[in-house]
Amino acid sequence: MTTKPIVAATDGSEESLRAVEWAAREAVLHGAPLRIVAAVELLPRMQGPSEAPGLGAVADVLRGNRDHALVAAANRVTAAYPQLAIDTDPLSGPVARAVTDSGSGALMLVVGSRGSGAFAAMILGSVSRYAATHASCPVAVIRDEPAVPHRLIAVGIRDTGNCQDALAFAFEEAAQHHATLTAVHAWHGPAADGAKDAAGRQLAELLASWQAKYPGVQVHQEVVHGHPGRVLAGFSARADLTVLGDHAPQGADTRGPGTVTHAVLNHAHGPVVTVPSSPQPSRKQP
């Protein structure tokens, strides 16, 4: 049993509660404890003595909403999984950063794709976008779960020389879920003669070493000429999980979402996991 927790963030919205439920199922599957977090950001003048009337009451309301969201999420999960070890953690500070930092040392950080803001239905939530591209652990962004499991994990492979962490995560998820794994390599640009065959050979070579470590996982590969973001978003419609790699861990740089990651997170039809690259050469390759 792993001692690393799965961390799930809630803001009290129904979408975030579904993300917490997804995290609970993963925690049960992995034999991991579940940690539920919620954050509130208070203006400086709301903290400590203030001459402005009413600000203390507003701060109390905001903290109360945060704490209520934690209780509601914990109660829902406990009712469904009474044997699961659960703890809750109220966070303070800038919400995106606080939630992202809460994943430090976790097996996975799980967030909903949208929050409870006014334009929630139109854009990817700022918290989920920040976490997915800055966290030091894999981040699952939950949206549009299939009613019936497809038993398929898709993993995007951009560079066969720098995808070990994403493949490690994808193979482990496929093994845990008894799912088929499909590795997808797509490129956008001139289709040079023989490029598809060469990429297919490289991908097959890479996957063979991983399949030796996970002999029970059925593996397929797809090499597609097309925009990687659109290709992977399309695959997400028939996958239980779409895994993306190659975003730098927190503190390594200050990049925002790449075009592929941004496209998939915004247009995916199911849960997406972004996996940061290790700051040192991966030792997970079999």
pLDDT digits (tens, 9 = 90+) for 116-171: 543 333 334 789 999 999 999 999 999 878 788 999 999 999 888 889 999 999 99
**Residue 283, domain member (yes or no):** no
Q: Are residues 103 and 160 in the same domain?
A: no
Which pTM value belongs to this model?
0.88
pLDDT at 114: 73
Same domain? For 218 and 133 the reply is no
Indicate whether 123 and 32 sit together in one domain: yes
Q: In the structure encoding, which two tokens stand for residue 241, read together?
A: 């999980």
pLDDT score, position 4? 95
The terminus-to-terminus CA distance of the chain in angstroms comes to: 21
In a domain, 15, yes or no: yes
In a domain, 178, yes or no: yes
- Please give the residue range of the domain that contains residue 96: 6-142
pLDDT band for position 203 (cuts 50, 70, 90): very high
Q: 36: which strand partners?
A: 8, 88
CATH of the domain at 135: 3.40.50.620
Q: What value does the mean pLDDT take over residues 191-199?
A: 83
- Residue 24: phi, psi to the nearest 5? -65, -40
In total, how many domains does the chain have? 2
**Residue range 56-66: mean pLDDT, rounded:** 87
Residue where a domain terminates, one of 142, 163, 179: 142
Per residue in 206-265, pLDDT (tens digit) is: 999 999 999 999 999 999 999 999 999 999 999 999 999 865 544 444 444 468 898 999
Task: Give the model's pLDDT for residue 5.
Answer: 97
pLDDT at 98 over 60: yes
182 and 242 in a single domain? The answer is: yes
pLDDT score at 119: 33
Residue 162 domain-assigned? yes
As a whole number of angstroms, the distance between CA 10 and CA 88 comes to: 10
Q: Are 38 and 91 in contact (CB under 8 A)?
A: yes
Q: Verify that 10 and 138 share a domain, yes or no.
A: yes
- Classify burial at 152, counting beta carbons within 10 Å of its beta carbon; exposed 0-12, middle 13-18, buried 19 or more: buried
CB 89 within 8 A of CB 101: no
3-state secondary structure of 272: strand
